[in-house]
Structure formats: C-alpha cells, structure tokens
Structure 1
Amino acid sequence: MIGHPFHILDEIDSTNNYAMEQVNSGQVTSGTAWFTSNQTAGKGTRGKQWHNQPGDISALTIALQPAMLPLSRQFMLSIAVALAASDFFASIAGDETLIKWPNDIYWRDRKAGGILIENVLRGSLWQYAIIGIGLNINQAAFPADLPNAVSLRQITGKTRSAEEAARELCTFLDKRIRQLQPGNYDTLLTDYTSRLFRWQQPGLYRKDGEIFEGIIRDVLPDGHLCLEKDGEILKLGFGEIEFIITR
C-alpha cells in the first residue's frame, strides 16, 4: 500500500534526499511515504530547485520497489505517477488539469506541480524508485520569477490541510501503480496522451536556441516525444526541448 507507513517530518531539506538515505540504510519497506510541510531545499528535475511554501504538499516522497516493471519500462512508472497526481488535482480543480510532457502537472497553461523520480540500482537490478511529487496547494501568490505557477488555493479560493491532501494523493498513487501490468501499458499510455498539454495542438518550442512552432504527435513507450516541425517528426528525449509559454 502506498503511504503505509506515512511519516511526518517537522522540517527537512529534501524529502527525496531523506528517503534515499533511508533506502540506502536498508530499513525501508516498499510504499513508505515521507511528508513535511516545511521543506527547505526541494529538488526539481535536471537539478532545478523546487520552490515551496509551508503548507503545500511539495514535500511528499514515496519509496517504491518496482518489482512489477523491468528497468526498460521505467517510463511507465512516470506515466502512472503523473496520472495519479493529475487524478488528484483534477478531483478538486476539474478537467482543465493536464500533464505537460514528461510529468509536470498543469492547470490550463499554468504549472501546478511536478514530479521527480530517482532510481536506486544494484547492478542491473532496479531496487527502488524514489518518487517525489510537488503540487501547489495553499500558495496565495508566487514570486515574480515564477509567473506561470498556480495553486489550488488560487483556483478554488480555499485552503486545505496539506497533510490530508498528501494522504489522499497516496490513495490515487496506489490505484495507478496497481495498474502497472503488461496488459495495461497501452491503456495507461492512452490515458496519459489524452491529458497531455498541447496534445495535437500547435505551440511554440525552443531547441538549440531556435524558437519554432511544433505539434505534439505522439509519445513513445520509452518516453520520447514525437514533435512535428515543418512537416518532419523530431524524436526528442528529456531535456532536449523547451516549451515556450506565452500569456
């Protein structure tokens, strides 16, 4: 069960770092979750800092033994986690909740959260996945250098218990991760693309310093994005393309 046990930390630099330390100590069971409402140095993808305020749930991390997946299928775990976070956010904010490739959570054209999955490998054995999820819950405003962010409080006008929200998110994660079976891969990928930000729609992108218009045509099972540019398909990996958001 995801979220069993569920540990509450008063303050920590990064719940992902803490979870990694606990996994390396050998004293963790699969499904263990760590939560804090005061994370001082959260991590985003590709080394970026995750900005959070006390009272959101950006500091939720789960340690999972992904025995249901081979390492070659690790993008399916990313899909399942993104869908779970989207499920949770949409249950409150509605069907304008989207997933920006590969696993950011968007509401309309604004970023509501993100996901960082770090792997613990022993040789070729995928021993653990450290799943960090950040969702903006109670922020009333964001710094000027984050003009594209949005929180549930801004959308709904209501504040929520961050701990209760984190526990609820664990139930959505449990449901999606249980779907990680070979017979469900195609269905999960279809669910994922049906919620994808800019799916089959023109948008602006930057690659190698060039800004151009492109259309997302497909996402492959290994996670590569297929983006149409001037009638040709670019096959892109993580970090190779930047979405340009205009408001």
Structure 2
Amino acid sequence: MNNFQPKTLFIGKNTIYLPSCHSTNDVAAEKIQNEKIFDGTLVITSDQTAGRGQRGNTWETMPGQNITMSVILKPDFLSAADQFNLNIAVSLGVHLFLSKYIQAGLTVKWPNDIYVGNRKMGGILIENSLAGSRLSHAIVGIGVNINQLSFSNSKVISLRLATQQDEFDLEALVGELCVCLEKYYLQLRNGHIAEQKKEYLQHLFRFDETHYYTSGQERFAGKIVDVAPNGALMIEVNGAVRTFDFKEVAFEI
C-alpha cells in the first residue's frame, strides 16, 4: 500500500498504511486531533486488532485477509440533522463495489451492514464531529471480508466464500472501493439526496417484506416501509407504522 494510487479525485490520494493497529477509526481520530489532514485521507491496516462495529460489537478479521480501513471526510455541506445521508451514500458505495462480483442476494442491512443472503460480509461505522450545527469531520470505518475462509460465527461470509473464486488482490480491491465511495460522496455533495435515498431503499435488506423483530421484551411481525430522515427504521406493525432508533430494534435472522 506504500505506492497506492487509486483512480480518484481525492479519496485515497493521501494514504496512511499501518501494518498493524488497534482500530483505523481511532488512528484517524488521533490524526485529526494532532495533524492537518486532507479530505479523503485513507487510513488502512493489514491487521486490525480491536475493530469496532455498531452497538459496541467487535469486528472479527484475520491479518492480511480482509479490507480494514477508514476514510477521513470533511462533509461540512451536511447539517447534523442530515448526517444519516452520509451513511446512505457510503453504504451505496460499498454495495456498488461488491455488486461487481456478487449478482444476487447483496443488500444493505439497516443501518449500514452489508449482507449476502442472511450472512454478513461487511460493516460500516461512521463517527461524525460537529462544528456548530454542521459536520466538520467524518471518520468512515469500513470492514469487508474478502479472502478469509473461516469465521467463528456461521452468519458471516467473505467475498471469496460467496463467489468461490481464487484469492483476491486486496490492494486492487481497495482502489475499486475508493472509486465507488467517491462516486456517491460527490453525488451527495451535489445534492442528490432523494435519488440516493430511493436507491438505498431498493437495496435495503428485507424492505417491504414481513419478518420478525424484537424490541426489548417484545417480539412482533412487521414490514420495513421506510427510513426516517434521522436514520430511524420505520416498520409497519398491524397496520400502523412504528419508528425505531439504532438500538431499539433487532432483526431475527
């Protein structure tokens, strides 16, 4: 990754490669605090020892097998109230990247995991910093299982397992991913919010299907019908639409 030059305008043009680190998001946060960082700076590692996911989950990854990276962005064109639009754009970028290799069953599981069928292939963790009512920095952490062939959790899958192909070139894939991320980020910056929201719903895991969910001690059947502007999940239950925040509902899978 020392000579990494993706075919982008700015994402990944400045790359910080670490053979091993605890968390690329944490390293990115330290860089923002202590240095002048260019928009689109990529922090990437071959061995992430303490990767984090949504809700405090950990990210299991074997050294040198998968994509573990963070992109530092400066989305000051977004207000705090609109920050979930960045999640949508990033999720669509990862989805586009993987769709070149996976033609069926690839979805975005709310709020921003990547699934193939009922198995998780990737995860996104975005940590935003605010300046007043607007975003100043966003650290976009992305983990995608690529070449790993065994996992402790049977509900996890890699690109190699899903495609039954030979080992992938990780550096080439990171370049492709940067191109896809930049495409949707520039669309977002140019105001294509409604179009991206429509595409996000088209790719949303279990959208407009009836499945079981749990919220606290309650188990219920419902149908995902929308995602609110603040990112909350909207589920139709017994004819009425209920709204759930990030930690208020769990999928039964």
User: Shorter-chain TM-score category?
Assistant: over 0.9
Given the superposition, is the C-alpha separation of residues 185 and 17 from structure 1 closer, same or farther in structure 2, using an over 3 Å criterion?
Answer: same
TM-score norm. by structure 1 comes to 0.94
Match of 1:115 in 2: 124
**What letter is aligned with 2:247?**
G
State the shift of 1:182 in Å: 6.2
**Secondary structure, counterpart of 2:188 in structure 1:** coil
Tell me which of 156, 161, 180 is aligned to 2:163. 156
Which residue, 134, 138, 152 being the options, matches 1:129? 138
Deviations 1:183-242 (A, max 9, x none): 411100000000001010011111112222110011122212110112221111111100
3-state SS of paired residue (2:101): helix
Matches within 5 A, 1:140-151: 140-143=149-152, 146-151=153-158
> How many residue pairs were aligned?
243
Residue 66 (1) aligns with residue 57 (2): no
- Distance apart, 1:4 and its partner CA: 1.3
For normalisation by structure 2, the TM-score amounts to 0.92
Distance 1:212 1:198, change over 3 A: same
Q: Distance in 1 between matches of 2:64 and 2:226?
A: 37
Unpaired stretches in structure 1, ≥5 consecutive residues: none
Structure-1 residue corresponding to 2:55: 46
Q: List, as ranges, runs of 4+ consecutive aligned residues in structure 1 with deviation greater than 3 Å.
A: 122-125
Query: Which of 188, 202, 210 lines up with 2:210 in the alignment?
Result: 202
Which among 75, 97, 104 is matched to residue 106 of structure 2? 97
- Cα distance between partner residues in 1 of 2:189 and 2:140: 19
Cα distance in 1, alignment partners of residues 244 and 232 from structure 2: 5
Match status 1:29 vs 2:53: no
CA distance in 2, matches of 1:231, 1:237: 20
Report the identity percentage: 39
CA distance in 2, matches of 1:77, 1:139: 28
